[in-house]
Amino acid sequence: MSLPLIFIVAVAKNGVIGGDNKLLWRLSGDLKRFKALTMGKPMIMGRKTFESIGKPLPGRQTIVVTRDTSWRHEGVHVAHDLAGACVLAQEVGQSMGASEITVVGGAEIYRQLLPQADRIEWTEVHLTPEGDALFPPLDPKDWRESAREAHLRHPEAGDEADYDFVSYQRITNGR
């Protein structure tokens, strides 16, 4: 049985997820949620997303997708296309006893894998920043909101905005 594919993403009100290969806001609660949602699971990400993080995150298996056949990084699995990344994530996930595979960016990885996603764990950031990375729009025929939890910004924690944690479930079966 294959493990479900879960997107983890923070999206501003205008669809922006990043700019200049960086996050455009700081939300301590979102970082904690990211850790909780990815811990003990394989994470698929693009090379630029990995380089923005800078290292493999502890307690997770990182699968980096890159067209560069010479790219290597210690402690990271490398795939040269998304199909290979998904096969590798299934193998790694099952070997580590994971319940699901997480996809953590960037924009092009999200766009290409969206038809295969089973669930999206979305942090809706109440900002409208300028940015060059956008999350693809969700078709309401394919997705339904299954949970929402509002959070007010906590300046003492370094939060830069209010935000909501939103879960979306796929409602179509025709993948």
Q: What is the DSSP string of 3-67?
A: PPEEEEEEEETTSEEEBTTB-S---HHHHHHHHHHHTTSEEEEEHHHHHHH-SPPTTSEEEEE-S
Per-residue pLDDT of the chain (175 residues; tens, 9 = 90+): 799 999 999 999 999 999 998 889 999 999 999 999 999 999 999 999 999 999 999 999 999 999 999 999 999 999 999 999 999 999 999 999 999 999 999 999 999 999 999 999 999 999 999 999 999 999 999 999 999 999 999 999 889 999 999 999 999 755 4
What is the enclosing helix (H) or strand (E) of 98? Answer: none
Strand pairing class (163-170; 119-125): antiparallel
Q: What is the pLDDT of residue 173?
A: 58
The answer to whether the beta carbons of residues 45 and 159 sit under 8 Å apart is no
Nearest to 82 by CA among 110, 61, 119: 110
Q: What is the pTM of this model?
A: 0.95
Nearest to 100 by CA among 113, 87, 88, 90: 90
Could you tell me the domains of the chain? 5-170 (3.40.430.10)
Q: What is the pLDDT of residue 1?
A: 73
Q: What is the pLDDT of residue 175?
A: 47
